[in-house]
Each structure stands twice: as structure tokens, then as C-alpha cells.
Chain A
Amino acid sequence: MTSTSDQVARQPRQRPAQRVSLVPYLYLLPHAILFLLFVVYPVGYGLYVSFHRWDLLQETRPFVGVEYYRNLFDPSTPQSQFFWQTLKNTLFFTVVSVPLLVISSLGLAVLLHRPIFGRAFFRAVFFLPGILTVSVMGILWRWMFDNQIGLVNAVITQFFHRQPIPFLSTEWLAWIPIVVGTVWWTIGFNMTLYLAALGNISESLYEAASLDGATAWQQFRGITLPLLTPQTLFVVVTTALASLQLYGQSLVITNGGPTRTTQSVIQYITEEGFSNNQAASATAMAFVFGVIMLIFTAAQFRIMARDVQGGN
């Protein structure tokens, strides 16, 4: 957009008499040092580690090439078995939770967008769980779904007169506390994004539509939903990214159990790296998982890149 004024401004500087100023580089220096040390270097170092047999207690670290990557694609190794199993768990969680998290936060935002008695109170109630740390949230929901005397089972036994359901120790059912807890925990964040977007939709569109006799549902389908598409895209991608990085919720609520059904891939990578002391194997897994994440991150990056161009 400013390309012509750029050139005008640049011309004097291209005269040989004018030296390039060091000032901007001095400003950039502190960040650049830390960035190279803590962002760029670890990526290269990680690649290096993943090609060696890496035992913290051993002095020698022999080069093994792509052995740890090959292990992941060799079904007979436990690494391959658990990596793909926990990756499948994580994808399952993502596929179940993303639609829930997007639809419920949009629904809440629509309910709260127009003035209503106690709106500020409701907004605070739905937003507040999000400020809790994941461990507090996890401990709370583990207790809510306790096999015997959690609140959920108390309601089931006392109001519905059924046997308590052992959510935490039943395969697949153990996902329920994790998903419900995650919705409770993160709904307010997306709701706030949607509320801001709803505020930007011109009221005249709705007025014109209601003059034409459109029902509330038709207005929602015809006006609100299409105009929210950019936000929905953003929310879907960021929520999917967050869901793929599932860690704390399942760690605290079920500790990955029963029998690894709810173990997330990140929990398995940390188990391999820190509990089993297999830094190289864990790093190789992280890179493979990183490539999968990259696809989602690239989508988010593209959405953000529109802003960069807009601001320049």
C-alpha cells in the first residue's frame, strides 16, 4: 500500500555517502539473542538429539540416524504402539470437543448479546472458569465425577435412583469428565470473541430483515452465521490447536487411564522423555507430532497474516 512513498523515502539513503544506521539493530539485539538461544537453537538441537541414542546417565551418545523415527512406524515397538494410540486418543478428543466448544460458545454469545437483566453477571459466570489453572480445574472435575460420591453420581443416585456410574474407571466414559470439564473451562474465552464479533454486525441488517418478515432463526442463518464466518474460522482453528495439545485435563482428571484410553500424545511424549529417560525417542515423537500440528498452525498463521498485511 505504501510502496510509492517507501521508494521516495528510500532514495536518499541509497546514496553512497549515507551509512546504514546501527540504531535499529541495537534495538533488535536483546530479543534476537534470546530468540536464537531459546527458539531457533532448541529446534536444531532437538533434531540432533533425535538422531542419537541419548541417555542422561551415559557419557557417550552414539549416532543412530533415523532409528527412533523408524521405530514409530514399526508396529512391533511399544513406542509405535503407544504413540499412535495416544495420538488417536488426542484426535478423538479434538473431533468431539471442537464442535461442542464452538457451537456452545456461539450459542452462549447469541443468548448474551442482546441486553437482558443480569447480563454482566451471566457474562462473568461463564467467563470465570477460564481463569482457573488447569490443575485446579482438573482436581475440581475429578471430584465432580468421582465414582461413588461425586456430585454427578450423587444426582444420578438420589434424583434418578440409578446405580452410580464409575466414569473415571470405565474406558471411553472417562472422556466425559474431560470433555465436560474442558467445555466448562474454555467456553468463556470463545464466547467473548463471538460477543465482540456480534457487536460489529450492523443492526440495520436485522431491521431490514425483520421488515421483510424474517424469523429470528432465518435472521440467524441468513445474517449472523455468514457474517461470523471469519471469527468461526479463527475459533475453530485455535480451539483445534488447543485441543490437540491436550495435556493437563486428562493428566489431572484421569491420569490418562483407564489403560491409557485418555492418555494424550503430549502426556505420552513427556512420559517417554522424562519417566523413561528416552530423550531422543521423545524428541523424535515430538517432531512427528509437530508436523501434524504444523498443518493446523499454518491455517491459523494464514488467518493472522491477513492482519499483518492490513497493518502495513
Chain B
Amino acid sequence: MALAAPNLNRHGQSRSRRLPRDIPRFVVLCILAILFLAPVYWMISTSLKPEADTIAQPVQWIPAHPTLSNYQEVLNSPDGDILRWTWNSLYVAALFTVLHLIICVLTAYPLARMRFPGRNGWFWFILSSLMIPGIVTLVPTYLMMIQFNWINSYNSLIWPGIPGVFGVFLLRQFFAGIPRELEEAAHLDGANSWQVLWNVILPLAVPALVTLGVFAFMGSWNNFLWPSFVVTDPEKMTLPVGITTFSQRYVTDYGKLMASTALAAVPVLIAYLVAQRYLVAGLATSGMKE
């Protein structure tokens, strides 16, 4: 990664001399890492205990009778279907991401690369909507969903968020930085604006598209407040919402509860391992160009 390079030059030369000085820093980091991992350890440890052992006194640091029965019961539970919720979350997040990207690309392209009356006015108008806190539109949008008959429908989880403006802003900034000569050359060859977008701009914008895609997917996947009100049918619930209904049901059965939270964490872990390169790079560049 780019940001590591200058440091390696400087410290690479003097690594051996610096090593003893690094030890306290390393020890501090190890202690912090243990504190950070403790909840995860406790989750997995609890999920492997039979119910009686989760409340045993004194506390069992290591499961005395490890078992996978909590996982089995949670996966086969009649009270809710974790796999179903995971699928719903995946489906909603994937569809949201694709639609959001398409809409943002179509909007950012003319705003960045074309001249037409009203361009700046419209750009500032939609950008100013970033000022409106989400809570303001929560209840009215909910009332709209009732009128649309979209309660307990994926539509209510997908459509209201599609015209998000942050994505338009991000892509417009990126598109604006692409050299104009490339576009002019394509125009001279007789390409129309659609062909320019498709063949010139988009291939160059892949990093920005991936960054925005990851943001959109994570945002939809982790969304909690809105889905918890527009979806009450367990069949249509997303994972974050479904898992809280579990927690209300198994309020004292921490073995099952921890097994279900561990299961709910698995898809994001996999997604993280796949996308971590883009995720960290995207985070580092978003709005932070100083």
C-alpha cells in the first residue's frame, strides 16, 4: 500500500537499531489486541457450551463440555431461519448496490463531463440534501410505504435509498479528474456520449466504482433502523433485524444467542477477507484528499 512505502525506506535502514525501542509499543499493541479479541473469544466460547455451563459459577473460561448443539439448534430453529435472513440480506444488498451504482453513474457523468444550463444549480440542490438528517424523513417515508403497499416487501428495503447523493458526489469528483483529451479523442472518432461513458470513463473509474459498491453493499447489509420497522414478517427479515428477534426470544439462553451471533458474523467476515483491499483503500481516499 502506498502509505507504507516511505516508512519502510526510513525505518528499514535502521531496523536493527530500533528494535529494542519497538518492544514497549509491541507489548501495548498485544494487550490492546487481547482486549479487542476478548468479546469474540467469549462469544465463541459461550456458543460451544451446553446451556447449563453458560451460567455455571465459577465461570468456565474454557468450555468444559464443548458441543456444537447450539449451532445445530439455531440452524434448525422453528423461531427463525438464519440462512433465510442471510439470503434476504444478500439479495437486498446486491440489488441495492447494482441499482445505486447505475443511478449514480448516470447522474455523475453529465454533472462531471457535460455543460448544460442548470448543471451547477441541480448539483448543489441535490448535494444540499446531504444536510437533511435521515430521521426527518423516517416517519413520512414509512407512511409512503404503507400507501405503496410496500410494508414487508423488499421494495421498501431497496428503493428509498437508491437516490443517495453521496455516491453521485464521489463519482462526479472521480469522473472530473479523468483527462479531457481521452474523451475528445473518442468524440473525434465519432463516439457518442454513451459510448464515451461506456468505453472511456467507466473502465478508468473501476476503483471508484468498487469503492462506492463496497460502501453501498455494507450500508445496506448493516442497515438496522429502517428494516426493523418496514419488515415484520420473519420470512422477509434481513439478518440484523432477524438476529434481534432471536435475542428477544432467547434472552437467557446465551449459548444459542452466541451461536446465532457467531453465525451472523460469518458472512461479513468472508466479505471482509475478499474485499479488504478495496475497503481500506476506499476508506482512506473517501473525502480525505489532504
Contact = CB atoms under 8 A, between A and B. Distances in A.
B143 A199 contact: no
B39 A193 contact: no
B46 A143 contact: yes
Closest 5 CB pairs of A and B: A199-B3, A196-B284, A24-B110, A46-B140, A154-B59
B287 A129 contact: no
A83 B141 CA distance: 21
Interface residues of A, number: 107
B42 A21 contact: no
Contacts of A46: 136-137, 139-140
Contacts of A122: 29, 32-33
B88 interface: no
Contact of B224 (A134, A142, A144): A134
Given A149-B57, A203-B7, A252-B244, 19 more contacts: A30-B103, A34-B162, A40-B129, A111-B25, A115-B11, A115-B12, A124-B276, A140-B39, A141-B39, A149-B55, A154-B58, A192-B280, A196-B288, A266-B135, A269-B139, A287-B136, A293-B135, A298-B131, A308-B169
Interface of B: 2-4, 6-12, 15, 22, 25-26, 28-29, 32-33, 36-39, 42-43, 46, 54-55, 57-59, 103-104, 106-107, 109-111, 114-117, 119, 122, 126-127, 129-144, 146, 159-163, 165, 168-169, 172-173, 176-177, 193, 218, 221-222, 224-225, 229, 239-241, 243-244, 247, 254, 257-258, 261, 264-265, 268-269, 271-272, 276, 280, 283-285, 287-290
Contacts of A189: 283
A31 interface: yes
Chain A at the B interface: SS class: helix
Contact of A117 (B26, B134, B168): B26
A234 B288 contact: yes
20 contacts: A24-B110, A27-B193, A115-B7, A117-B26, A121-B33, A131-B271, A135-B240, A135-B241, A136-B240, A143-B257, A149-B54, A192-B283, A193-B284, A247-B225, A252-B247, A270-B229, A279-B142, A289-B133, A293-B135, A297-B133
Given A28-B110, A143-B254, A199-B2, A34 B268 contact: no
A31 B39 contact: no
A113 B168 CA distance: 32
A78 interface: no
B38 A49 contact: no
A152 B239 CA distance: 27
A214 interface: no
A132 B244 contact: no
A158 interface: yes
Nearest to B254: A143
A307 interface: yes
Contact of A290 (B33, B133, B218): B133
Contact of B283 (A43, A132, A193, A308): A193
Nearest to B160: A38
Given A149-B59, A252-B247, A35 B126 contact: yes
Interface string A104-136: 000010011111111001101111110111111
A56 interface: yes
Contacts of B271: 131
B268 A132 contact: yes
